[in-house]
């Protein structure tokens, strides 16, 4: 597929064109990706450097400026995700905050991210693009094993899980904190004859609760080929019962006989990340063209762009305008493919191994905060 150059189409800002209209966001060739991605990252850096005092001071303390970003945008300074638990980091984008997004951390502390309209629309664009180009779904219903947007309020994870209602009819199965599993069973059986695809969407612990209910009540389904099982958000406070992605897929195959393994997917997102990173049918999490990822090696304290190196996952996400999307996460992971995922989509793929709360990673984040981000 030929990649248009979205930078010259009409008067729509380039990233809007890319997220909302370009079906090639997950398919650009390497040359097209590098050229477009660099432009988007430099443009984003300009905005946050010029309009965000804390970020500008941080960059200056590192001796990093606009010229360095223009020369090599992959060196753009990163903010540790923990910083959003302590400081309000708001880029003056010229737009009001339309959504305050919070995340309950595993340590009980809360990150706060303010999103303006452009940022939120771009996030929704990444959801749309994922649906069109990675899931390829047209006729679907989404059954959300969680609360709806109203009940979710500011909790980012719950918002993300219920946001499919912009794409498909969506039904929420947690109301007033109660998970209505009997209704979910009933609806799966009803909707399988009405829709081409039936999405079950939720955090892994919610699926585990549902699976226990199915086992306890000896309930079996015969709709394997229609189901899409989509998880996100990780285990959070249920870390003790966590199983890895492969074990979760094994378990799901036993619960839903006949389901294709390629239709059990885990998507990655975090409150600081304004982009959904979807799992493809081959089990790899793909980055769209407006975001890049690499790992930060905890032994050498350097960035690595090589496949199969383990470190803290870092993202350069050009899509947010209300805060810098240049984030060092607390998730240990790897780049697993660069242009060679078996699904055929070019670009980078990540694997998320687990959350780290080690002294090293905390120490790394604390050092950055102490040295560069003091108010």
Footprint of Zn ion (CB under 5 A): 280, 282, 284, 341, 343
CB nearer to Zn ion: pick between 116 and 351: 351
Q: At what angle do helices 53-61 and 359-372 cross, to 10 degrees?
A: 100
In the complex, what is the shortest distance from the CB of residue 284 to Zn ion, in angstroms, rounded to a whole number?
4
* Residue 123 in tokens: 């996030």
Please, which residues have CB within 8 angstroms of residue 249's CB and are 6 or more apart in sequence? 261, 264
CB nearer to Zn ion: pick between 275 and 321: 275
Question: Rounded CA gap, 371 and 375, in Å?
Answer: 11
| End-to-end Cα distance, the chain | 49
- In order, the DSSP letters of 129-177 are HHIIIII--SSEEEEEEEE-HHHHTTBHHHHHHHGGGGTS-EEEEEETT
Using the structure block, give the residue that is written with the tokens 């089990």: 283
In the complex, what is the shortest distance from the CB of residue 164 to Zn ion, in angstroms, rounded to a whole number?
21
- Where does the chain have alpha helices with state H? 14-16, 30-51, 53-61, 66-71, 117-130, 149-152, 156-162, 181-191, 204-216, 245-255, 359-372
In the complex, what is the shortest distance from the CB of residue 179 to Zn ion, in angstroms, rounded to a whole number?
32
In the complex, what is the shortest distance from the CB of residue 62 to Zn ion, in angstroms, rounded to a whole number?
35
CB nearer to Zn ion: pick between 241 and 340: 340
CB nearer to Zn ion: pick between 206 and 350: 350
How many other CB atoms are found less than 10 A from the CB of residue 342? 11
In the complex, what is the shortest distance from the CB of residue 349 to Zn ion, in angstroms, rounded to a whole number?
6
Q: Using an 8 Å Cβ cutoff, are 283 and 335 in contact? A: no
Question: Rounded CA gap, 291 and 36, in Å?
Answer: 10
Question: Rounded CA gap, 359 and 298, in Å?
Answer: 11
CB nearer to Zn ion: pick between 95 and 132: 132
CB nearer to Zn ion: pick between 154 and 281: 281
* Residue 231 in tokens: 């998880």
In the complex, what is the shortest distance from the CB of residue 156 to Zn ion, in angstroms, rounded to a whole number?
26
Q: What is the largest CA-CA distance in the chain?
A: 64
* Residue 76 in tokens: 């753009």
Query: Which of 145, 149, 132, 172 lies closest to 233 in space, CA to CA?
Result: 145
CB nearer to Zn ion: pick between 25 and 280: 280
CB nearer to Zn ion: pick between 205 and 346: 346
CB nearer to Zn ion: pick between 17 and 343: 343
In the complex, what is the shortest distance from the CB of residue 129 to Zn ion, in angstroms, rounded to a whole number?
15
In the complex, what is the shortest distance from the CB of residue 142 to Zn ion, in angstroms, rounded to a whole number?
22
């Amino acid at each position: 597929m030929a990649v248009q150059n979205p930078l010259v189409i009409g008067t729509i800002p380039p990233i809007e064109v890319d997220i909302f209209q370009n079906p090639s966001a997950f398919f650009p060739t390497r040359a097209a990706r590098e050229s477009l991605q660099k432009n988007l990252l430099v443009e984003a850096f300009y905005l946050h450097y010029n309009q965000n005092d804390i970020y500008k001071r941080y960059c200056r303390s590192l001796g990093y400026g606009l010229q360095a970003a223009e020369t090599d945008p992959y060196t753009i300074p990163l903010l540790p995700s923990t910083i959003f638990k302590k400081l309000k980091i708001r880029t003056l984008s010229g737009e009001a905050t339309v959504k305050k997004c919070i995340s309950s951390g595993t340590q009980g502390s809360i990150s706060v991210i303010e999103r303006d309209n452009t940022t939120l629309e771009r996030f929704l664009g990444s959801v749309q693009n994922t649906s069109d180009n990675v899931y390829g779904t047209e006729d679907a219903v989404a059954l959300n094993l969680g609360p709806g947007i109203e009940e979710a309020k500011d909790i980012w994870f719950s918002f993300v899980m219920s946001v499919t209602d912009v794409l498909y009819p969506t039904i929420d199965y947690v109301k007033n904190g109660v998970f209505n599993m009997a209704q979910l069973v009933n609806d799966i059986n009803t909707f399988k004859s009405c829709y081409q695809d039936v999405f079950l969407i939720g955090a892994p612990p919610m699926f585990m609760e549902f699976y226990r209910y199915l086992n306890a009540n000896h309930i079996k389904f015969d709709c394997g080929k229609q189901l899409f099982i989509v998880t996100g958000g990780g285990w959070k406070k249920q870390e003790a019962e966590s199983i890895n992605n492969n074990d979760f897929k094994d378990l799901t195959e036993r619960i839903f006989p006949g389901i294709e393994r390629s239709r059990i997917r885990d998507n990655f997102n975090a409150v600081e990340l304004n982009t959904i990173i979807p799992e493809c049918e081959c089990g790899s999490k793909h980055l769209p063209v407006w975001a890049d990822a690499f790992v930060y090696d905890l032994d050498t304290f350097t960035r690595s762009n090589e496949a199969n190196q383990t470190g803290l996952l870092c993202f350069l996400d050009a899509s947010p305008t209300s805060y810098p999307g240049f984030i060092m996460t607390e998730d240990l992971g790897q780049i697993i493919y660069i242009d060679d995922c078996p699904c055929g989509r070019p670009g980078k793929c990540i694997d998320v191994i687990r959350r780290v709360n080690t002294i090293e990673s905390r120490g790394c984040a604390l050092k950055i905060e102490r040295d560069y981000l003091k108010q």
